[in-house]
Structure 1
Amino acid sequence: MGKAVRLDAFGGPEVLAVREVPVPQAGAGQVRVRVTAAGLNPMDWIMTADADTAARFGLSLPAGFGTDYAGVIDEVGPGVTGFAPGDRVFGSALSRAVADFVVVDAAGEAAANEVHHTPGGVDDRTAATLAIAGRTAAAALAVVDPGPGDTVLIGGAAGGVGVFAVQLARIAGARVLGTGSAGSAGFLRELGAEPVTYGDGLAARVRALAPGGVTAALDLHGTDTVHAARELGVPDARIGTIAAQVDGVAAANGANAAPGALDEIARWVAAGRVRVPIAASFPIGEIRRAVELQAGRHVHGKVVIEL
């Protein structure tokens, strides 16, 4: 038997419980991973908040929780090539990652069921934060395609996706302005963004910071950055969102990230070009507390469960 977080009803953190469950077995084309760390994302608690939302993700009760994981392969099913017991890996397992063991498809490229080799020099806590946020940031940046000469406004820059988007845009050669609270200014500077406080008057503050203009924008939180970007003259073709639908503006989905994008991000982490701030780590027994912190949307960086 192994431990796993389970839900017997959809709802908030109060429905999460640690249960003893049978250890899954790797079938043909699958690997079993002994999970050492699981990273939390907003989608984890959003999609398990109510039955209708859960159904859109194909979830039914009883359900697991969490999607990003890292760990070590301990069982390989028939027909698997490229992976062996003892390999350090990371990836995503939709709503079942906060568990001692997960089984995933060895050839899986889907954002909900995938496994990748963890590069040397990347610890498991960090690897466990990469899949969902890294994929989403890569997909969002592909919408606006930043490069040298661009000034990119990123709304929600201090959040889980934002920390990747800021650094990837900087790697692409763009200047980055990142919105956040006044208290996040130092954090954003460390990532490579020039901080600008969100809220009323955002466009005016951005104009003062970048009188030469903004050429692209990503809204990683809602729609406020979209409206400010339009006010600043950014064309809709160079504005992207991830958490809202706006007519005329492309909404990015991590499932549509380019093949190889996640492995490239992992290599940049290993090389020290991308840094992943870990805001807090919790043991599995404190899953409710961890989700409450992450769901508050005010943490700077990622929240991780250690197993």
Structure 2
Amino acid sequence: MKAISYSAYGGADVLEYGERPDPKVGPDTVLVKVRAAAVNPVDWKAREGYLDAALDAVFPVIPGWDVSGVVVQPGAAVDEFAVGDEVIGYVREDFLSRGTFAEYVAAPVRTLARKPLSLSFEEAAGLPLAGLTAYQVLHRTLRIREGETVLVHAAAGGVGSFAVQLARHTGARVIGTASEHNHDHVRQLGGEPVAYGDGLADRLRALAPDGFDAAFDTVGGETLRVSADVLKPGGRLASIADGEVLAYGGHYAYVRPDATDLTRLAELAEQGIVSVHVEQVFPLERAADAYRLNEQGRTRGKIVVTVPWEVPDVRPDL
């Protein structure tokens, strides 16, 4: 199969497009013919070796954890999916090797849900990792409730845009930081935008004089410190970007694959409650360019890579 892979840690230049062996289908996995895979910041951080202390890399590594596609071969113990089912997945294993930037991926059933019919394959590929991150932080870690005032950082980005929509659906008031050119987008998502930069704490206090019930940090550093400073007494704080959050009595959160949560997200997308903004689409062979764009850190929504589409009934070599 055609795939993107790298054989050593490094920048986008280590990514190569070429032939890789077709994945094996284990008893609890599903072979998915990939239609689209989304780029996430964690992908290039893993490629550069920043996750080496937590995840072993089995080189060559095929990057990518987000996927949308079609089932072409269920494993022997799988009865949840059949050939032809359209699925989405946050396909993360406990090591780096068998990712989604390829024509096929063998996805554990625990990582998959049915694709929302209302989303294109490109949109659906952008839902799993970022959407699950927002969903799990808001509902499991911060436990957002109706009527609360919630601060979301990078509210126009991949995770932040989902967090704004999900918190608003819960009935919370959402104030989100964003660059000024993204303020209208944040308003469309249901949030109240506020500009980054010097004086942020004062601007936040002007919007929420009584403080915030909860804050979701996706940036770290000074942004995290401001978040802690504008909380109400007893307010809740979570970060996915900076472990220093623990020093403020907050929670350092990391998303986990969860088929039940992903199914719930898909339902919300089907109902039109959650939308996915795709900023730009690249073909698989230009995945390195997609990564370079993501690394700039200024993307609205998601960057997606697509795979040439010819659907076999089953995998060609079976």
Which TM-score applies when normalising by structure 2?
Answer: 0.89
Superposed, 1:59-98 pairs within 5 Å as: 59-94=57-92, 96-98=99-101
Query: Hey, what does 2:170 align to over in structure 1?
Result: 172
Letter in 2 for 1:127: A
1:203 Cα shift?
1.2
Shift of 1:122: 2.4
2:114 is the alignment partner of 1:117? yes
TM-score of the aligned structures, taking structure 1 as reference length: 0.92
8 Å CA contact retained: 2:279, 2:302: yes
Alignment match, 2:230 = 232
CA distance in structure 2 between the aligned counterparts of 1:161 and 1:89, rounded to whole angstroms: 21
Correspondence for 2:187 among 189, 206, 211:
189
Distance 1:119 1:154 in 2: 26
1:101 matched to 2:104: yes
Conservation of the 8 A alpha-carbon contact between 1:139 and 1:254: yes
Please, which moves more after superposition, 126-135 or 247-256? 247-256
The offset of 1:47, in angstroms, is 1.0
Closer, same or farther in 2 for the Cα pair 1:250/1:55, shift >3 Å? Answer: closer
| 2:61 alignment partner, SS class | coil
For the 8 Å contact 2:210–2:232, the answer to whether it is kept is: no
Provide the secondary structure at the position in 1 that maps to 2:152. Answer: strand
Task: Answer yes or no: is the 8 Å Cα contact 1:236–1:249 preserved in 2.
Answer: no
User: Which residue pairs with 1:37 in the alignment?
Assistant: 36
Corresponding residue to 1:130 among 127, 132, 137:
127
Task: State the Cα deviation string for residues 16-73 of structure 1 (Å, max 9, x = none).
Answer: 11111222232322210000000111110001102x6335222232111111001001
How far apart are residue 216 of structure 1 and its match? 1.4
Deviation at 1:156, TM superposition (A): 1.5
Moved more, 14-23 or 277-286: 14-23
Q: Is the alpha carbon distance of 1:22 and 1:226 closer, same or farther for their aligned partners in structure 2, counting shifts above 3 Å?
A: closer
The equivalent residue for 1:111 is none
Q: Is the 8 A contact 1:138 1:254 kept in 2?
A: no
**Paired residue for 1:294?**
294
DSSP 3-state at the match of 1:199: coil
Tell me the equivalent position of 2:16.
17
Take 1:61 and 1:235, find their aligned partners in 2: how far apart are those partners?
48
Matched residue count: 298
AA aligned opposite 1:22: P
Task: String of CA shifts for 1:106-131, please: whole Å, max 9, x gaps.
Answer: 2x2xxxxx121113222211221122
Distance (Å, rounded) in 2 between the aligned partners of 1:244 and 1:297: 16
Once residues 230 and 294 of structure 1 are traced to their aligned partners in structure 2, the CA distance between those partners, rounded to angstroms, is 28
Distance 1:204 1:29 in 2: 52
Which sections of structure 2, spanning at least 5 residues, go unmatched? 308-318
CA deviation vs aligned residue, 1:125-182 (integer Å, no higher than 9, x gap): 1221122111111122132222222111111111110011110000000010000112
The answer on whether the counterparts of 1:68 and 1:129 sit within 8 Å (CA) in structure 2 is: yes
Residue identity opposite 1:29 in structure 2 = D
Offset of 1:236 from its aligned partner? 6.0
CA–CA distance in 2 between the matches of 1:60 and 1:156? 33
Unaligned runs of 5+ in 1: 109-113
> What SS class does the counterpart of residue 254 from structure 1 fall into?
coil
Q: Does 1:284 align with 2:284?
A: yes
Partner of 1:249: 250
Does the 8 A contact of 1:218 with 1:225 survive in 2? no
Separation in 2 of the partners of 1:265 and 1:72?
19
For the residues of structure 2 that align with 1:212 and 1:189, how far apart are their CA atoms?
Answer: 22
